[in-house]
Structure 1
Amino acid sequence: MQAKPTLKMQIDDTHERDVELPIPPVARDTKESLKHYSEMIQNDYARFKTDFIQWLLTEGKDTYRREGFSESTVKTTHYKVEEAYRWLWEEEGEFTKELPPHRATELLDQLMRKSPHPDSYVHTFEKCIRRLFKYFREQKNREIVEWEHDIPIEPSRGSDNKEHIKDRFYPEEMNRLYEAALEEYSIKSFWNADPDERQDLKRFVSQQQGIKVGEVGEEHFKKASSWKYPSIIAVSADLGLRPIEVGKMKAGWLNLPQNEINIPTAESTKSNESWSCEISSKSRNALENWMQERQSCSKYDDSDYLWLTKYGNQYNSRSLNKVLDKLMERVDLDEGNRTLSYYSFRHGAASIWTEKEGIARAAEQVRHTNLATTKKYLRSNERSVKNHANDKW
């Protein structure tokens, strides 16, 4: 049996150790493709892939905190990136390690239109390519803009289970995602960091906001710490928000003293009813802090939308799944045989409320007009003696 490749990794710039790579740096099919090129090119590509895998293992998830991905994530990323490069070489007719964003978009478009794979497969491909772009930006200092495309990828679409009820987040997972949002979007203040630490934080902020390190100042530190995403995650877990509902949510619907969000009839999604939904103390705290922070953001001056993207747009499934992907990677959330997406908050909330509070109460909380829809989430006759959102996640 052939031994797995190893390499020397430098840790904290002072200690080295041997690290066993979980996969060969060049896949078998890629080696076949590279036979058309010189040994020097083959050697160069192998060195590049070794460095890429090393980065994934040691700091790919969070460069500032030196957190790497799990072996399973590294393996998936490796094989999808290899597949992308083989496609690129065939399209270009020559070897290159440069994968421009527009080429990556063409690849996704081909996968969506011509491949028998479900959307979840294409969604995984997209995440892996984003990791490659992140590597080029952070490890190689390439000026690669944030990759945007208009391909409508819905991670849950294409599953054999039309209801996707099994693809839910469990209570402990929703809590982990909320805590990850708190950690991901909070850093020390500009003046509380010592000079050396401030430089590291500047690098982190520059990566987060897509600006040059030398341009980072106190105002960028303030933007880096935000209650926006923790509040989005908390309310989504409480109410089982659909992505379109996150985008439509209005600040005027909040009734924080009563721990409620009131959705008027005219704004209700998939129904002609108004809804009064209960929120947990986590959501209330996150929303109170976000509403105070929101007042200082000029893009909300003429808008009643509760949350807007950094470009001033309403959130949708694509923008929310990008946020979710980052948080899932941070907590190494194991999907198992599930296909998880932002809709998994909805399926999780519906399941928990049905199991603990009964069908009628659950239908009101997650805004089902047909009780038959809610019954699909009933897994047991377990009932909770309390009727509070705090017990749910």
Structure 2
Amino acid sequence: MQQFRVFVLISFSMFLFLPSHAQQILQSVTTPLSPTECDSVQVTVQGQLPQNNEIKKRQIQQSGNSTEIILTYGAGSTSPLPVPTFLETINLAPLPAGQNQISVILQDGNGINADNTSRSIQVPPLNLTSGFTLPRDTICEQTTLPITDTSSNADQYIWQDNGMNFDTVASPAYQAADTGKHNIQQIVVNGVCKDTMAKRVEVLTKPVAELGTNTDTLQICENDVDTLAINDGYDQYKWQRNGSVLTGQNSARLPVSDGGLYQVNTRIANGCTDSDSLFVEKITTTTPSITKTDSVLSSSPATSYQWLRDDNPITGATNSEYIAQQSGAYRVVTFAQSGCSDTSAPTTVVLTSIRDLQSDKKLVTYPSPAQEMLHYKLEIIDQQQNVFLSLHDLNGRTVREQRLTLSSQKGTIEVDALANGLYLLQLQTDKATITKKVVIE
């Protein structure tokens, strides 16, 4: 709202002399030069009063384009001046558009006019109008909608969303707090004038795209194929790897065998979009190797192991070494700390002799059944370099094993922690593999 204060001196040819011989006169009246119909009007009146008098009462009467200001004076001034002056400021409501007449009347307490004056003011129409445009009337949640102001003659703006204020700039950026139908209203203000305009905007639900993992990185093993999966419910899917579009990949599932940064862009029927990304790390593995010493097979280092015979897993054979009990093609599957695995080339083992030493008394065990300790005694006629003694359950799982020297002609095996049942004690030499049945209770 603009305030106009221009002093205009109006001279009068009429002088009124009261019995006290004090001159009473309106010396000047100041009004705005060109107020609009939205501006409040301030009128300043300056004049003289009889000695010991002051303005006691102010009256304003407005009717249409005519305004009358009545100033009533009376005794009470303590001014030492023989003819005291006064300065009154009167605030008027906005005047209607067109030619307006403002009259000022100075009168005493008996209602007798002492002086009066008037002036005309032309008030032009302001033509305050609201207006704004939206690029569209539907948006997705969490999306910003730019609003362009097209109003005229406004100097204040109030924007409301379903009756709640959200901005005061001319052209705000709108973002809804929730989904559903929203009433966007513009209130433009100039002085005391207002104008409004409202438009409807529908805020649509935006689905959240999430790749099926709780981490930002997915590890895949070399030579393996994994699948990236986005949640269902979209109409369009576009996949990228390291910023390049993967041609032909437009479903919710993507097979991956290479590392890199993968991103999926999704879209639903209402036009709302979202995206998610995931880094895929490809873990390289080292193919294991097998070292064979007669029937003793040793794997290259790894975190864990699984031995195979003729491509079938051997139950319980999960150590870095394995004593072959049968002829066949042996492989080892090794597992790294990452969980990735690789399989060795086959190693062929041919066992030349299998004998039961119980008949020739070369391997003696006692007691039978064994409870806490199983004692053994053996004779090695030839000077073999490698001798292994191992205990197996009927499923072929190795439960105890130890490597013997030429001086280990006798010894013990702890069996108190083993389940009761029939076991096979196996002696492995450079020339033969021989077994003996033992009972543990």
TM range (shorter): under 0.3
* Structure with greater proportional helix content: 1
TM-score between the two structures when normalised by the length of structure 1: 0.17
| Higher RCO by CA contacts (8 Å cutoff, separation 6 or greater) | 1
